[in-house]
C-alpha cells in the first residue's frame, strides 16, 4: 500500500478535473475522512482545479466546510486516487422493464435479502386492468442506504402513479401501506457505487369498486357465491326445475352478469318464471280435457286427450304432463300429441245363420263401402278416413283426372240423394299393373281431398295382419258387396252382398286353364272365391269392392281381396271370382299412405 495521502501528477489531476471527476483538489491534511466522489464545495461557481502554484492543502483547510451532499456523475468504475479501474459492483443489475399484470404479487430489490448490487437502476411496473386499485405493503425488512441530514441522497426507492408520487424511501424503517387508488404503478430503485444494504420487499394486491351483492330471484340460485364481487367478477343464475329464466318477456337460455369498472352489474337480475307449456295441441278427431284446472298449463299440470266416437287412440292412455322443458309429455316420453285412428272393421251385421246368395244390405252392414262413378261404375273400400282401396282397372281411365271421379259413401241405394260426397285428390295405380294385359297387381289407392266424417254408417275396413291368412284358408267364408249386375243383368238399386267360400288356389288355377279367358291367368297375387256349382258371385259393377273376412279373435272385419275379374258369365259353374290378394300388398299400401 502507498501513503495515505499521495499527490497525483499534475497531468492526471487535470485530466480528472476536466472530466468532472476530481474537483476540487482531493487532498486533506486535517485527518478528516476523504469526502465521497462528487462531494466538493459546490457553490454554483465553477470549481477550481489543482495548480502547482497554489497550496491546495492550505486552501482546502480554509475553504472546506461541512461537506454538502452532491455526487459526481456515476461512472463505470470505482474511482481510486490516481487511477480509474472497473469493478463488479459498477456493472449494476439487469432489473429494468419488469411488468406485473397479476392482481397480486411480490417484488423486491435485486438479490433480496442479500445486499443489492451497486450502480443499478431498476424499474418495476404494475399494470392492471382499469378499475383496479393497487395497494403496496412493505414486508419483512427494509434497508436502503440513507444520509442523516439529507433525504435519500445515495440510494432511493420511488413510487409513482398517474395521480401521485410517493417517496423517495430509504433507511431502515418499513414504510407504511400505500393505497395508490390507481391501476398503474411504477417503482424505481436507484443505487450508487458504494454501501452494502439488503434492500426491500413489497407485497402488492389490488381491489376494485365492489358491485352490490346479488340476490337470487325466487325459485333460482346464484353461482358462484362470493363475499364480494369486484370488477370482472361474474355470477350465473340458475332456475329450479320447472322454472325458466326470463328477462322481461324474453326467455333466456342462460344468464351471466359481470361486475363493471364503476361497481355496477352489466345487466339486471332476471327472474325465474314457472314453465308454461301453453295450450296443448289440438287432437284431430279428438279433444283434450284439463285435469289440474281450467286451462292450467304450467309445470306439472295434467291434461287428458281422448278420441271422438268411431276413433281410437293408437298406443297411449292420452295422459300428458307439462314438463320442465316446456313440452306436454306422455308417460312414454312422447312429445307429440297422440293419434286418433278411425276404428276399423266394425259392422252391425251378425255372422250367425249366414247364407249363400245375394242379399240386400242394411245400413251399418258395410260402412266401408264406397260407390265410384266415373267412366264406369265401380266400388271401393274406405281405409282410415281419407283413402279408398280399389282395383286398378276400375279407375285406370281417371288416373290423370282424379277430380272427375265421383265418390259417394254412407248410402244403401245407388241413386239415393242422401249420401256423403267425397272427392279424389290423387289416384295411385300399382306400378307393376299393366292395363288390358291381365289383372296381376290389380290394385289402386285413391287419396281423398278431405277426411270424411265417420259415423255408424261410414267407417273404414281393417287391413289384414300377418296372421290374416289363418282366416282365409280354403272354405273359409268371405263376403263381397256392391251395386253390380244382378242375375237379371241390371245394376242393383240397393247395396247387395254375398257370402262365398275361398277356393283352393290350384283348383282355381286349373279351372281357368281349362277354359280360355281374355287375359285370364291366375297368379300368386290372387285368390279365388265362389261355389263350384256356381250361382253366387260378384259381377260387373262390383269391381274394386272388398272381399272381407271376420277376424275371429278381434271380431273385426278385414279386407282379404279386391273384386278383380272372373268369368264373363257371373256365377258360372266351375268358374270362380278372382280377387286381388291384399295381404301381398301391405308394404306397398303403407308406403303410399305414409308418403302422401
Residues annotated within the binding site for Ca(2+) are 145, 155, 192, 194
* C-alpha to C-alpha distance for 509 and 507, rounded to whole angstroms: 5
The secondary structure element, H or E, covering residue 588 is helix 586-595
118: cell is 451497486
Region at 111 (left for phi over 0; alpha for psi -120 to 50; beta for the rest): left
Backbone phi, psi, residue 398, to 5°:
-100, 5
The span from the CA of 582 to the CA of 464, in Å, is 8
Residue 59: its H or E element: helix 56-63
Q: Give, in order, the Cα–Cα distances in Å from 537 to each of 414, 486, 547, 566.
A: 19, 10, 11, 9
Residue 347: all three cell numbers together: 259392422
C-alpha cell at 404: 272427375
What secondary structure does DSSP assign to 460-510, as a single string? PPBPP-GGGGGGSSTT-EEEEEES-B-TTSSB-SB-EEEEEEEEPHHHHHH
Q: In what order do the strands lie in the sheet with 328-330?
A: 286-290, 302-307, 319-322, 328-330
The residue annotated as part of the active site, out of 442, 481, 537, 542, is 442
b vs e for 222-255, b when ≥16 Cβ sit within 10 Å of the residue's Cβ? beeeeeebbbebebebebeebbbbbeeeeeeeeb
203 secondary structure, DSSP code: E
Cell of 17: 478535473
Please confirm whether the linkage preceding 168 is cis (ω < 30° from 0): yes
Nearest to 374 by CA among 446, 431, 435, 438: 446
CA atoms within 13 Å, Cβ hemisphere of 196: 1
Q: Assign residue 467 a region (left: φ > 0; alpha: ψ between -120 and 50; beta: otherwise).
A: alpha
221 is an active site residue: no
Binding-site residues, please?
Answer: 145, 155, 192, 194
- Asked about 543 being catalytic, the answer comes back as yes
Task: Report the DSSP beta bridge partners of residue 420.
Answer: 409
Q: Considering the candidates 143, 393, 440, 537, report the single residue annotated as catalytic.
A: 393
At residue 428, φ and ψ (nearest 5 deg) are: -115, 110
393 is catalytic: yes
- Strand order of the β-sheet with 271-274 is 250-251, 243-247, 271-274
Q: What is the C-alpha to C-alpha distance for residues 497 and 494, in angstroms, rounded to an integer?
A: 10
**CA 80 → CA 75, 86, 153, distances in Å?**
12, 10, 21
C-alpha cell at 126: 404494475
Rounded to whole angstroms, how far apart are CA atoms 252 and 186? 45
* Cβ partners under 8 Å of residue 420, min gap 6: 408, 409, 410, 411, 452, 453, 458
Q: Enumerate the active-site residues.
A: 393, 442, 543
Amino acid at each position: 500500500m502507498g501513503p495515505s495521502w499521495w499527490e497525483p501528477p499534475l497531468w492526471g489531476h487535470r485530466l480528472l478535473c476536466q472530466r468532472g471527476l476530481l474537483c476540487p483538489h482531493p487532498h486533506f491534511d486535517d485527518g478528516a475522512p476523504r469526502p465521497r466522489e462528487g462531494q466538493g464545495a459546490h457553490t454554483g461557481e465553477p470549481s477550481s482545479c489543482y495548480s502547482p502554484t497554489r497550496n491546495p492543502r492550505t486552501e482546502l483547510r480554509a475553504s472546506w466546510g461541512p461537506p454538502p451532499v452532491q455526487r459526481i456523475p456515476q461512472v463505470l468504475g470505482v474511482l481510486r486516487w490516481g487511477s480509474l479501474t472497473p469493478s463488479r459492483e459498477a456493472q449494476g443489475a439487469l432489473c429494468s422493464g419488469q411488468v406485473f399484470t397479476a392482481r397480486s404479487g411480490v417484488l423486491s430489490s435485486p438479490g433480496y435479502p442479500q445486499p443489492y448490487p451497486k450502480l443499478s437502476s431498476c424499474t418495476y411496473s404494475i399494470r392492471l386492468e382499469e378499475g383496479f386499485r393497487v395497494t403496496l405493503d412493505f414486508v419483512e425488512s427494509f434497508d436502503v442506504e440513507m444520509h442523516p441530514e439529507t433525504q435519500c441522497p445515495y440510494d432511493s426507492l420511488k413510487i409513482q402513479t398517474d395521480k401521485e408520487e410517493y417517496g423517495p424511501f430509504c433507511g431502515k424503517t418499513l414504510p407504511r401501506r400505500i393505497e395508490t387508488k390507481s391501476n398503474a404503478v411504477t417503482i424505481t430503485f436507484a443505487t450508487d457505487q458504494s454501501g452494502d444494504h439488503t434492500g426491500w420487499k413489497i407485497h402488492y394486491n389490488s381491489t376494485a369498486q365492489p358491485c352490490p351483492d346479488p340476490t337470487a330471484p325466487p325459485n333460482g340460485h346464484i353461482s358462484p357465491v362470493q363475499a364480494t364481487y369486484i370488477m370482472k367478477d361474474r355470477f350465473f343464475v340458475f332456475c329450479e326445475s320447472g322454472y325458466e329464466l326470463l328477462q322481461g318477456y324474453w326467455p333466456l337460455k342462460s344468464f351471466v352478469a359481470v361486475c363493471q369498472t364503476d361497481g355496477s352489474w352489466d345487466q339486471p337480475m332476471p327472474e325465474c318464471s314457472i314453465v308454461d307449456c301453453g295450450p296443448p295441441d289440438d287432437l284431430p278427431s279428438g279433444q283434450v280435457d284439463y285435469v289440474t284446472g281450467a286451462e292450467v298449463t304450467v309445470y306439472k299440470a295434467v291434461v287428458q286427450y281422448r278420441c271422438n266416437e268411431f276413433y281410437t287412440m293408437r298406443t297411449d292412455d292420452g295422459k300428458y304432463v307439462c314438463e320442465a322443458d316446456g313440452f306436454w309429455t306422455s308417460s312414454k316420453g312422447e312429445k307429440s300429441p297422440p293419434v286418433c285412428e278411425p276404428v276399423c272393421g266394425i259392422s252391425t251385421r251378425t255372422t250367425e245363420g249366414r247364407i249363400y246368395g245375394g242379399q240386400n244390405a242394411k245400413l251399418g252392414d258395410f260402412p266401408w263401402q264406397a260407390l265410384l262413378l266415373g267412366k264406369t261404375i265401380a266400388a271401393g273400400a274406405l281405409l282410415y278416413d281419407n283413402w279408398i282401396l280399389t282395383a286398378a282397372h276400375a279407375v285406370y281411365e281417371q288416373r290423370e283426372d282424379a277430380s272427375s271421379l265421383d265418390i259417394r259413401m254412407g248410402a244403401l241405394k245407388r241413386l239415393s240423394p242422401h249420401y256423403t260426397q267425397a272427392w279424389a285428390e290423387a289416384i295411385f295405380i300399382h306400378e307393376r299393373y299393366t292395363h288390358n294385359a291381365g289383372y296381376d297387381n290389380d290394385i289402386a289407392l285413391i287419396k281423398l281431398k278431405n277426411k270424411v266424417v265417420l259415423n255408424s254408417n261410414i267407417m273404414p275396413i281393417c287391413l289384414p295382419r300377418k296372421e290374416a291368412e289363418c282366416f282365409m284358408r280354403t272354405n273359409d267364408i268371405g263376403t263381397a258387396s256392391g251395386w253390380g249386375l244382378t242375375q237379371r243383368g241390371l245394376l242393383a238399386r240397393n247395396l247387395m252382398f254375398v257370402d262365398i267360400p275361398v277356393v283352393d288356389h290350384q283348383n282355381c288355377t286349373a279351372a281357368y286353364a281349362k277354359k280360355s279367358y281374355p287375359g285370364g291367368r291366375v297368379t300368386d297375387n290372387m285368390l279365388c272365391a265362389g261355389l263350384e256349382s256356381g250361382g253366387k258371385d260378384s259381377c260387373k259393377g262390383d269391381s274394386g269392392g272388398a272381399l272381407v273376412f271376420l277376424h275371429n279373435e278381434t271380431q273385426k272385419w278385414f279386407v282379404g281381396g279386391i273384386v278383380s275379374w272372373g268369368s264373363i258369365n257371373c256365377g258360372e259353374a266351375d268358374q270362380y271370382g278372382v280377387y286381388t290378394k291384399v295381404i301381398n300388398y301391405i308394404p306397398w299400401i303403407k308406403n303410399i299412405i305414409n308418403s302422401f
